[in-house]
Every structure is written in structure tokens, then in C-alpha cells.
Amino acid sequence: ERMGIRVLVLASLLNVALGFSSTPLPSLRQASARTPAHASSKSLRMALSPPPGRKGFFTGIKESLQYIFDGDAFIKKRVEEFGPVFSAKIFFLPTVVVGGADNVEEFLSKEGAVMESSLPPALQKLFTEDNLLLQSGERHAATKKVVSRLIDAEAMKTFLPTIERRAEEHVAGVASRGETALAKEFTSWNLQLFAELFGGCQLTEEEEELFVTYNAGLFALAEWEPSFKKAERARQTLERSFAARFKAMKEDGSISEPKNYCYRMMMEHGKEMDGTPYSDLRVGFGITTMIWGAYVESASLMSSAVIQTASRPEVVNRIRAEAAALASDGGGFRGSMSDWNLPYVNGVLRECLRTAPPAGGGFRKSHKVINVGGFDIPAGTVVTADPRPGNLDEGTFLEAESFAPERWVSEEELGPSKCPMSRVVAGARSLPTGAWFPGGTGVHKCPGVPLAELVSRAMIVNWVDKLDEWTPTTKLDYIVPSPIKIPKDTFEMSVTPRAASPGVGGSEL
């Protein structure tokens, strides 16, 4: 869902140029016209209760630009002004933002009315009808079942040795250089890692560039734009490349090798709606999409973890202490999936996702009037369930502005170390969906969050083990506009290797 923002940003600027910035929410008259003729006068009055929001001719311009350049601040200010459910012009489209645990839960109960994607036609064509994001009903369920096979517990168990090895190699390289272009290097590293996990190979320079070209095409406004045509060709080239690999491994028997796990799962479980097996090209599309959909979000999370821990030595020491049990006799960090279940380290990652979420909510369009939080949302309105209002809700997270990984750890796991936050988490790890949804909500939520957390746990454990300090040497600026919050390529840090690093070297799992 987050990917639609890439195109909507430029669509917003086009709307400014064409003078469409004052497009209003569908009128209350339109909403009441959809009310059944037999409705009582009382129910009719209740239907005329739109979400609050700012008015004015230039509101669309102001709100859209504010959201594009600092979405976190925009959401926080509007929640303070109107509450967690409000109307706004986001990307110059009439939009209702839904936040807060109870409101999001209510919204999800009516999700069937807001299943239609609000993505522009050009982006939908670039995604293709095989993309999970654009599907619904039985087809969506069938595709999601196949995707789940690629990222379930068995898949992650297969991926783990590669993740451990690659994370160790990357941090060792950073330590030897004494510096890092943090997000730039994490982005490239994640792209190569997910190519290895899903595609069974490291990308060539040409293939890595094709992924970058494909990603850049998501800003295209129309099919005739050069960036769209380049992106479509890039995607098709990648599909054919992975399809050819799939065909070759079926012929030579290498599909049974552990590195080709995802190809094997797609061969065994991938079926079209009529029951026919996925074609080679359909498998190629699936592998391409899995890599593309994972690498930026994962790079964002681990970048945030490194930045958040840079000035928190007490957090770093807790990570080191918890990860010590993973240090193998031969050096390095090796273990089973249960060994990598590090509650405090995962608490660090979840605090990063909570206090500095990588993205807002997905954008979908309602096709009928729905009522959420006591407000009427007219048909044709873009609706987004945004995690940010709930993330800073004091009723859910005690001292919500504080960075406290302990809130995600039970008292039993904390041991003798107690924290005022720990009483919240009893519930924090079992929070309702409406209170905690870092990967989106409903049937279109991202199923890859557990994998992203595993990859980030491996990276941050190696990072604090091999490095003593990491300090910004350039200004921390984030890429704008971008649907994913991630530092610019120019952001750099100096690092100091740790004198006594118990996790050097490595042994096989």
C-alpha cells in the first residue's frame, strides 16, 4: 500500500499546476443521497457528520506539501487539533485519516467497503494484475497463500545461515573502513541479501541498476512518460532473468538446493485460479516482486536502529548482554530461530518502528458511505488507517514519547531488571491490531515484518558487537519525497571498532 505514495507525490504537484487544489470532500448532500429512502430523520442527521478538518481555498496546497515534506509532524499536529479521525487534503485528494486503536479496529471491521486501490492507472499497470496489492477476494487469498510460503517459519529457518553470514561480513567491512554511508550501504546490502534469499543469487551490477530503475518508475504519472517505459522494461527484464534461472534449475536438478528454496515453493504451491501451475515467467515476476518489496523497508528499519542507539549506551550494553549467548565457540553469532528470539533486541526494533515509523498508512478508496469513530466518510473518499496517532497514544503506551525497548519485554524476560514500562507490555506484545500495525492493516498488510525484524536483529547484534562507537559526520536528512522514511545517501557516520569483540569469526549453524 505504501508504494502508491511514490506516484501520488508527483500527481499532487500536477494538481497544483492545473488548479485542482481546492477539490472538496464529497458533499454531505451526496452522502445523504446514498442514504436509504426509508431512513429515519434521526439516522439522516447522524449521516451528516463529516470528520473535522481545515477549510479554505489554499488548504489543499498547504496540507499536501506539509504531509509530503514532514508527514510525522503533520499527523501529530492534526491529531492535537482534531483528534485521531480527521479529514485532510493529502496529495490533493479528499482523504480521511483514521488513527487510534478503537477507531482502526472499527475501520477494519468495515474494510470490505474500502478495498478499491486509489493508485493511478499507470502505477497499476506497472504493478500488473499479478501483484498482491491490487488483488482482492479469492485471487488475493490464493496469491497470499503462495507468498506466505516464501516467508513463513520454515523459510526463515532456511534463510538464517545466509542472514547471519552476510550481516557479519557487512559490519566487518564497515569496521575496517572506519566509516559508512549508512542508508546507502544498507539499501544496497538489503537488495543483494533479498536477491540471495528469494532469488538464490547475488545480483549483477546491471540487475541491481534495473531494480533501481524499476523503483524510480513509480513516480511516473502516465504510461507515455520515459520513466514509466524504462521501469516497465526493467521489470520485464528482471522477470525474464529470474524465469530463465528457474527453468535452468528445473532442468539440471539444482532446484533442490537450499539456496533455491523459494523457487521450489513456488513450483510446488504456485497455481493460477484455474488450477494450472505458475509459468516460468509468473515465477520470475514473483521473485522480482518479493525482492523489490522488501529491500527499502528493511534498510529503513536497520538505519533507524543504528541512529537510535548511537547516543544510548545503556541500550547498546543491554543488546550486547542479551546477544552474548549467541556467540559461538568459533566466533560469530550463530543459532537456531529460537536462539535469535531476542526480546530486548526486538524491543529496540519495535521502538524504532513506533517512535519513528518508516511510513504512514496505505491509501484505499471507499465505494460506499462508512461510519468510523462517529463520523461519516462519504463514498469516493480516500481512507488511510495511519499508525502514528496510536503509536503516541498515552493510553496505550506509557510515556509514549520515550524510547523504551523494555515496554516490549515481559517481566519474566527482564529478570531482575525492572522498568516502569514493563507493565504496559504485558500487553504490548498482544496489543490489538488497531493499536500496533507497523506493516499496515487488514488483508493488504505487509506479511514480511517478521523477516525484516529477523534480518535487522542479525545486523544490529553484529553492529554493537564489532563497533564501539558510531557518530554522524554529516547532517541527518531524509529523502523527500519518499513513501519510506530513510536517510539520504549523503548521510555518513564514522565508526570506531570495538577492542574486544567476542563475535569475530564464525561457525556453521
Residue ranges for the binding site for heme? 446
CB-based burial label for 35 (10 Å; 0-12, 13-18, 19+): middle
Cis peptide upstream of residue 357 (ω within 30 degrees of 0)? no
First and final C-alpha spacing in the chain: 36
CA distance 311 to 207: 37
- Total residue count of the chain as it appears in this document: 509
CA distance 391 to 437: 9
Show Cβ contacts of residue 70 under 8 Å, excluding neighbours closer than 6 positions: none
Which residues are documented as binding site? 446
Give Rg (Cα) of the chain. 24
Residue 240 backbone dihedrals phi, psi, to 5 degrees: -65, -35
Residue 100 backbone dihedrals phi, psi, to 5 degrees: 90, 140
CA distance 235 to 293: 13
Output the nine-digit C-alpha cell for 300.
529503513
CA distance 501 to 509: 20
Quote the distance between the C-alpha of residue 304 and its chain's center: 13
